[in-house]
Amino acid sequence: MPYVSDDEKDRIDSDRRPPVNVGQLTYVIQGALRVYLEGTGLRYAHLAECLGALEGAKLDLIDRVIIPYEHKKRVENGDVWPPTLSPSWASEHD
């Protein structure tokens, strides 16, 4: 549940400014889901579509942003996992 003040909600809703913290980000995401469900109606299929969209967005964020970021940091700072527990990484960098 996003606990943001009414002032923050008004600023986000009226000014269309991007969220600057996790509460505001959650509020924006839940707002998009609310608008979708208000337009489509509250039905099991539409709820499942919302969950599918969230999961797809999560997986895309992991694949396209988080994994490349983690790879870059692993190269910069070294791996915390020994090669015996992370053989695919070790073989890529021998």
pLDDT in tens, 1-34: 557 898 888 888 888 788 999 999 999 999 999 9
The pLDDT of residue 10 is 86
- Domain boundaries defined on the chain: 1-42
DSSP SS3 for 18: coil
How many C-beta atoms lie closer than 10 Å to residue 36's C-beta?
A: 13
The Cα–Cα gap between 62 and 39 comes to 29
pLDDT in tens, 24-68: 999 999 999 999 999 999 999 999 999 999 999 999 999 999 999
The pLDDT of residue 1 is 58
DSSP string, 47-93: HHHHHHHHHHHHHHHIIIIIHHHHHHHHHHH--SS-TTT-HHHHHHT
8 A C-beta contact, residue 33 and residue 50: yes
> Is the pTM above the cut of 0.85?
no
